[in-house]
Structure 1
Amino acid sequence: MAQVLSKGANAPLPTTEVRVEVSSSTPLDIAALLVTPSGKVRGDADFVFFNQPAGPGVRLAPPSALEFTLGAVPSDIDKVVVTGSLDGAAGPPTFAAVRGLAVVVRDARGQEVVRFDPAGLSSETALVLVELYRRAGAWKVRAVGQGYASGLAGIATDFGITVDDPGSGNAAASAPAAGPGAPPPAQYDAPTQVVSPPPGQQWGPPPPNPQQWGPPPGQQWAPPAAPPQVPPPGQQWGSPGAPPQAPPPGQQWGPPPGQQWGPPGAPPPPNPQQWGPPPAQQWGPPPGAPVGAGAPAGAVPGRVNLDKGRVSLRKGQSVSLVKTGAPPLVRVRMGLGWDPAQQGRSIDLDASCILFDDRGKDVDKVWFMSKKGARGAVRHSGDNLTGQGEGDDETIFVDLGALPQNVVSLIFTVNSFQGQSFTDIRNAFCRLVDDQTNQELVRFDLSESKPATGLVMCRLQREPGAPTWVMTAIGEFHDGRTVRAMVGPSRQYL
């Protein structure tokens, strides 16, 4: 008959081959830490969890068990700590709502030898359940039931695992200015080129006077030093040596008196005979367009927006997440996916989101060990260990309206925790979906791969002075196996 332990009690283990099983009303992430007499692990290899499922003498047995060969545990390890943590993205937020929590230790024959039922839990999001420890050359088990409010990352940090500065969740806290960094590549801030205004839009702001389709009084559209409005005596419009020309009946060469054609900052026309827009283009609203018709609020002239529906981006392109006549986006989700390059092989990659303020300081991170950030405005779906299957492998949810105002950029990254190279994957993509309508808004398919362990996939950035955001496709490879290692590379794309 199994021995039932109360919190703090211990019992001897009759064998060194044991299995620890955890059951509850909601699935838990089970992990183990191999700890020295100092109370710390020797290194990251002593952390056995869903992203590193085996260690010396310990093996994760999904979904909710650990198998031990205690005779194979290194002699400098004093104890093995067994933990359980809530997913953070699904299910109850704390252990207060978890029912039927039990820990059972079985011997090699599957017989139950020890049982522990943790109770009296409230705000905890992770627990040290039991620990297996050495005493006088033998192994024993102790019921612990110690809770943490900071999740699995908090437990790992407590035992000496270097995790990525688990944030307080208060992304609005003030932060010191970031040090000097590499200048951002120009192409990531350059708007997508559009050679003519989209239908229903116009170059520049709407004119204050419906009759005036030239520049406002005292301004001009083109560089200074306009050509003379009429040819000097004895000369004519046209190239030197060209035969005399005259404008078509009822028209005149050049702009109206006192004005000159050209969009803001445009160079002088290469052909001195052409003082109007290039062939098949126009400057100003289309014929019959309503006076004042222009870009939607928050849009940048010349940048693609969502008016024509789903946008497919190429590397370095940007899209304004606005649509004429529609309210600003509120809740979106970024889906990231990939496939193994070799059929049947598992590739474990991790999607993360790094939140930056306007000074380039990373104020929060959302990843597989810290699934919520920015006071819950950003949430992670959980870890995918294989890359198998269709659709998104991992998803990060973002409530744009709930983000603290000091968060101006979100960089989405993918990294290989186990060091697998991106040459082992294919079909990597990211896609932005309206979480309220389930409509795909933007997609970026990455066509290349490189022998690296990290990838900066894309960026969401606030439009200055507007409640709207811009998505930019980045698709640049770097070496970084954790989200902490991806902060520096990500900063150069702000």
Structure 2
Amino acid sequence: MTPGSNIPLAAARVTVDVAAPVRLDVSGLLLTADGKVRSDDDFIFYNQPSGPGVTYRSGGGSAPDAITVDTAAVPPGIEKIVVTASPDAAGQTFQGIEPTATVRDADDGSVLATFTPPRLGAETALVVVEIYLRGGQWKARAVGQGYADGLAGIATDFGVTVEEPAPAPAAPPQPVVPPRPLTPPPPPPAAQFPTSAPPPPPVPPAAVPAPGTGKVNLDKGRVSLQKNQTVSLVKGGRPLLARVKMGLGWEPAYGGDADIDLDASVIAYGPHRNHIDSCYFGKLTILNGAVKHSGDNLTGEGAGDDEVIVVDLGRLPKEVTGLVFTVNSFSGQKFTEVAKAYCRLVDATTEEELVRFDLTHAEPQTGVMMAKLVRQFTGEWEMTALGDFVKARTVRNMVKPAAEAL
């Protein structure tokens, strides 16, 4: 496997062992949808070798330590088990060490996959692989994310309470992400329905007022928004009540040498900012088919929209007065690793691009609110560019900040 690649698990019980030329401590953490443990009991290691559906096995120095995951016994609400490794010797880094994780069928010992994180250096701990639930299917993903502050840094990052004496308050642990190889994983399966074709050659956008000076409509053609600008979806004096597509796209930063697994979603709200429903990779259709998601894109590779959400404005229930379009990094990559992120509103009938918003800056967060559609008392819809970053790996964690953005 290569960093970012994944495989479906044919076995219900799998064992992950991590071998290296030196002794390693291997651990497992059970994580909920927000990427955190429920309590310290979800941290499985040599001093706490068993938990619900997850057990630790010591190799005794002659064999590698291992974590076994019984997916059938993993409790509801746990969506991911991350397997970590750190050198047993205090202060030792992974410089010159090539740890290899092997995923096996826990019952017959057959090898399902192997993964060696590339180009390691000053890291003293790694998230090596993760066993995760996606769309009802358990999978294994190669990660290789490094930390410079040891296993305690990983544990703290995932919500485990670590009590260690320190001369001064320590800064929050900062992940050290190793470079990824040039070879991408296999392309994801086809979406439920085709995503949009690459956008047409650039055309001069309609002039828009400076931020805070008002809004425009679609009479003069495509509108290019800046952050916090608004466009009324009115053309020829009439509200646009038709099927539209919100296409969202991105590319890996730094020359495209990494796959970026981001998830686009839309959250529907009522007139009191009350959450009605969310459409995302795990729930591709909501509101009786008025909102549909194209499916999950695991790499961000290629031209055109990476994920598309189709909204039939005319079929939306009257109680839906606001839609917020978000993008999350399910695997924890920050938006500083993403380039050319954008969203664009397209007429689903003519494929004409109506509105575009290019994200011109990035913050080291795992979620971003790209844009919102708000129904006015007159019945017309307005689109506002947001570009606001938040700490949220899943759409569930975007519900509250997105409501505040309406």
Alignment of 1:383-402 (within 5 A): 383-402=296-315
Equivalent AA in structure 2 for residue 485 of structure 1? N
TM-score by length of 1: 0.43
Aligned twin of 1:340: 252
Distance of aligned partners of 1:73 and 1:465 in 2 relative to their CA distance in 1, 3 Å threshold: farther
1:43 aligned to which of 9, 30, 39: 30
Distance of aligned partners of 1:32 and 1:45 in 2 relative to their CA distance in 1, 3 Å threshold: farther
Aligned twin of 1:442: 355
CA contact (8 A) 2:211 2:226 kept: no
* SS of match in other structure, 1:43: strand
Give CA-to-partner distance per residue, 1:332-357, whole Å, 9 cap, x none.
00001111112221111111101111
Once residues 388 and 373 of structure 1 are traced to their aligned partners in structure 2, the CA distance between those partners, rounded to angstroms, is: 27
1:353 aligned to which of 239, 242, 266: 266
Distance of aligned partners of 1:346 and 1:363 in 2 relative to their CA distance in 1, 3 Å threshold: same
Once residues 309 and 78 of structure 1 are traced to their aligned partners in structure 2, the CA distance between those partners, rounded to angstroms, is: 52
Once residues 474 and 32 of structure 1 are traced to their aligned partners in structure 2, the CA distance between those partners, rounded to angstroms, is: 42
Aligned twin of 1:433: 346
**Mapped pair 1:411 → 2:398:** no
Equivalent AA in structure 1 for residue 30 of structure 2? G
Equivalent AA in structure 1 for residue 264 of structure 2? A
Structure 2 unaligned runs (5+)? 1-6, 15-27, 34-63, 75-104, 111-132, 139-208
Alignment of 1:91-490 (within 5 A): 303-325=215-237, 328-343=240-255, 344-466=257-379, 468-490=380-402
Structure 1 unaligned runs (5+)? 1-28, 47-70, 82-131, 140-150, 157-189, 195-301
Q: C-alpha displacement at 1:437, in angstroms?
A: 0.9
TM-score by length of 2: 0.51
Q: C-alpha displacement at 1:328, in angstroms?
A: 2.6
Once residues 359 and 402 of structure 1 are traced to their aligned partners in structure 2, the CA distance between those partners, rounded to angstroms, is: 20
CA contact (8 A) 2:68 2:106 kept: no
Distance of aligned partners of 1:405 and 1:348 in 2 relative to their CA distance in 1, 3 Å threshold: same
CA contact (8 A) 2:271 2:319 kept: yes
CA contact (8 A) 2:290 2:312 kept: yes
Q: C-alpha displacement at 1:366, in angstroms?
A: 0.6
Aligned twin of 1:491: 403
CA contact (8 A) 1:316 1:473 kept: yes
Equivalent AA in structure 2 for residue 398 of structure 1? V
CA contact (8 A) 1:306 1:319 kept: yes
Distance of aligned partners of 1:34 and 1:419 in 2 relative to their CA distance in 1, 3 Å threshold: farther
CA contact (8 A) 1:454 1:478 kept: yes
Aligned twin of 2:189: none
Give CA-to-partner distance per residue, 1:19-52, whole Å, 9 cap, x none.
xxxxxxxxxx95668579xxxx983499xxxxxx
Distance of aligned partners of 1:393 and 1:77 in 2 relative to their CA distance in 1, 3 Å threshold: same
CA contact (8 A) 2:233 2:239 kept: no
* Larger strand share, 1 or 2: 2
CA contact (8 A) 1:355 1:407 kept: yes
Distance of aligned partners of 1:454 and 1:327 in 2 relative to their CA distance in 1, 3 Å threshold: closer
Structure 1 window deviating more from structure 2 (368-377 vs 434-443): it is 368-377
Q: C-alpha displacement at 1:314, in angstroms?
A: 0.6
Give CA-to-partner distance per residue, 1:440-471, whole Å, 9 cap, x none.
000001110111111011000101132x2000
Distance of aligned partners of 1:155 and 1:375 in 2 relative to their CA distance in 1, 3 Å threshold: farther
**Mapped pair 1:77 → 2:64:** no
Equivalent AA in structure 1 for residue 293 of structure 2? H
Once residues 307 and 71 of structure 2 are traced to their aligned partners in structure 1, the CA distance between those partners, rounded to angstroms, is: 36
Q: C-alpha displacement at 1:329, in angstroms?
A: 3.0
Identity across matched positions, percent: 47
Equivalent AA in structure 1 for residue 223 of structure 2? V
Equivalent AA in structure 2 for residue 451 of structure 1? P
Q: C-alpha displacement at 1:386, in angstroms?
A: 1.1
Root-mean-square deviation (Å): 3.5
Number of aligned residue pairs:
234
CA contact (8 A) 1:339 1:425 kept: yes
Give CA-to-partner distance per residue, 1:42-93, whole Å, 9 cap, x none.
83499xxxxxxxxxxxxxxxxxxxxxxxx99845637599xxxxxxxxxxxx
* SS of match in other structure, 2:219: coil
Larger Rg: 1
Equivalent AA in structure 2 for residue 354 of structure 1? I
Equivalent AA in structure 2 for residue 333 of structure 1? K
Aligned twin of 1:279: none
CA contact (8 A) 1:191 1:303 kept: no
Give CA-to-partner distance per residue, 1:263-294, whole Å, 9 cap, x none.
xxxxxxxxxxxxxxxxxxxxxxxxxxxxxxxx
Structure 1 window deviating more from structure 2 (322-331 vs 345-354): it is 322-331
Once residues 378 and 191 of structure 1 are traced to their aligned partners in structure 2, the CA distance between those partners, rounded to angstroms, is: 32
CA contact (8 A) 2:212 2:229 kept: no
